[in-house]
A and B are shown apart, each in its own frame.
Chain A
């Protein structure tokens, strides 16, 4: 039975990375990106993304495809996917968050921010400098001063002032 192929055919878009590689993707999935959605409304079908390199674009498309199939039954499945998705190096995560921000994909931005926070949490200041390659530009006096100002953040569970001071 030949049914009209037009009713089944979904509109496709082409996304072009900064390295000029093209990827085909269904419009209904691509519009998870606010930026792409705006361009589609202006009648674009070929969407150039000069800010996103090929490697990152592939990952983003993978994310959008998975999240585009979201139904009530596969929520756990998507959670697992997200967990695996963020198991990447800092550099990769950084490129992803820049791309997600440019593309306005809110759920991906939230996921990546959470991933960054989870990695920074409970690490010492020294470790954070090492991980991100940040040089310490405080002098020892300056560092001590900043530490004093925010002592409350470094001490655990101390909420009472010593009353012998009265």
Chain B
């Protein structure tokens, strides 16, 4: 009986979604079927009305209704109702939908599940029971930390200032880093799972780099498990930024503190064999160049932090550099306790060094050339029949938020590459601004299958014999 109902339901629900004017006739047909399964006094009540009542009741009461009888259970379990409940929560629905359909099975199985394969009612229930997790996204410049159930990181620290280079697998340094963050968050390390981002470093495909990556991952796990953290999920920072853009494959251009990494990722795995390109220009160089320009004009500023604030508020990337030089681009910004600053061509010259490093006297490769090189490698390796996996380019990092950067990079790529490779390229600006990787981690932390699908548990780690590295 229930399989018959299901078949009828599926065919009717696709029809009733498409045309609301037809909904009465299809609903009447549906009620006829529901009646034969006896909903008691609720016989003849149109399905839309039943669902409206369930929506008013809310998720907990609705779930309870599935116990009344078989036909009520069938109605209550409808995906559309639970999609409605999920949409009414605080998380943005499209991110939730992406996460549940792509990330649910963990890092090794990034399949795309269709809606009809999933029960959104179980997803809702599982999500309601997921424990909150700590999220620490540490880069070489700044680190952001917070809770997976909050809408944004609760704190930021300057890693470069306080902790030195956290990319080296030094156990003591990592331990110090993590305990300081836990203290700042005023929380005990043993109470909830943690999601950390692994910095993008040691990116070559050589044996020594592979070993270095494994060492770093191991050091992170050891440090955390020694602090009695119950479960650890460590994911590469670029992969997290990609997830925040709701993709599992693509090229991430991560403009970091010291350097910019161009990371090709397929199904959530960094493609080291294709090649990660690195350009030695990052946020620090950008701020430094702006400082130089201001000094040349004898503009007085308090500190590098002032310059950084100006960079974040006044700078942008020109679509056409030459044309921009002849425009009037003067603009003023006020910094409390320092006064007003006026910049004109410095506004777009600063971001321009990403594309023309020679302006700042550097001999690095331009960003557009490095990305084009990466795309060429992806194309040549022919990993997949469908080669569009590398055509989505996601920007990440604070400096990547410069207005106009995405459009300019896209334009440059179309000019550099032959049309077979450039056709369909899209450059996406940083999802969620400066905190892309943090939000990617948040997506994982709220998954219905978290923590088991993504975390290494403490018992698991202790039992494995991987702790052989000498520090």
Q: Which residues of chain A have a CB within 8 Å of any CB of chain B?
A: 90-91, 94, 97-98, 101, 109-110, 113-114, 116-117, 120-122, 125, 128-129, 131-138, 143, 146-147, 149-150, 152-154, 158-161, 163, 166
- Residue B22 is within 8 A (CB to CB) of chain A in the complex: no
Among the interface residues A109, A121, A150, which one has the most CB atoms of the partner chain B within 10 A?
A150
- Check B67–A161 contact: CB distance below 8 A: no
Q: Give 14 CB contacts A-B under 8 Å.
A: A91-B41, A97-B49, A109-B49, A125-B68, A133-B40, A134-B69, A134-B72, A135-B40, A146-B66, A149-B122, A150-B66, A153-B64, A163-B192, A166-B457
> From A156, which residue of chain B is reached at the shortest CB distance?
B60
Residues of B within 8 A of A135 (CB): 38, 40, 69
CB of B40 within 8 A of CB of A132, answer: yes
Q: Is the CB of A116 within 8 A of B38?
A: no
In the complex the two chains form, is A98's CB within 8 Å of B64's CB? no
From the candidates B68, B121, B125, name the one contacting A128 in the complex (CB within 8 A).
B68
A94: chain B residues at CB < 8 Å are: 41-42, 44-45
Which 6 A/B pairs are nearest by Cβ-Cβ distance?
A134-B40, A153-B63, A166-B230, A132-B41, A117-B56, A132-B40
The 8 Å CB contact of B53, one of A113, A125, A150, A166, is: A113
Interface string of B162-198 (1 = CB under 8 A from A): 0000000000000000000000000000111000000
In the complex, the answer to whether A134 meets B38 with C-beta atoms within 8 Å is yes
Contact: B457 with A159, CB < 8 Å?
Answer: no
A146 touches B67 (CB 8 A): yes
Tell me whether chain A's interface is mostly helix, strand or loop, or mixed. helix
Interface centre among A110, A134, A153 (most CB of B within 10 A): A153
How far is it, in angstroms, between the C-alpha of A136 and the C-alpha of B72 when the chains are bound? 11
| Shortest distance between the CB of A155 and any CB in chain B (Å) | 9
Question: Is A134 a contact of B49 with CB atoms below 8 Å?
Answer: no
Determine the chain A residues whose CB is within 8 A of the CB of B72 once the complex forms: 134
Which residues of B lie under 8 Å from residue A109 when comparing CB positions? 49, 52
CB-CB under 8 A from B65, the residues of chain A are 120, 125, 128
B411 within 8 A of A: no
A138 touches B69 (CB 8 A): yes
A125 to chain B, nearest CB (A): 5
Per the bound structure, the CA–CA distance linking A98 and B64 in Å amounts to 25
Q: Is the CB of B45 within 8 A of A120?
A: no
| B10-67 interface with A by 8 A CB criterion | 24, 38-42, 44-46, 48-49, 52-53, 56-57, 59-67
Using known A-B contacts A97-B49, A146-B66, determine if residue A133 contacts B61 with beta carbons closer than 8 Å: no
Q: Are A137 and B230 in contact (CB under 8 A)?
A: no
Interchain CA distance A62-B85 in the complex, whole Å = 35
Q: Which residues from chain A contact B53 at a C-beta distance below 8 Å?
A: 113, 116-117, 120
Give bound CA distance, A108 to B70, whole Å.
29
Most buried by B among A110, A114, A117: A117
Q: Please, which residue of chain A has its CB at the minimum distance from the CB of B52?
A: A113
| Contact present for A134 and B68 (CB under 8 Å) | yes
B128 within 8 A of A: yes
Residues of A within 8 A of B192 (CB): 163
Pair B131/A161 contact, Cβ less than 8 Å: yes
Provide the residues of chain A in CB contact with B59, threshold 8 Å. Answer: 153
Q: What is the bound-complex CA distance between A159 and B70, given in angstroms?
A: 28
Chain B residues contacting A154 (CB-CB under 8 Å) are 63-64
Q: Give me 16 other A-B pairs in contact (C-beta within 8 A), A136-B68, A138-B69 excluded.
A: A98-B45, A101-B49, A113-B52, A120-B53, A120-B61, A121-B57, A125-B67, A132-B39, A132-B40, A132-B41, A133-B40, A133-B41, A149-B122, A152-B129, A153-B125, A163-B190
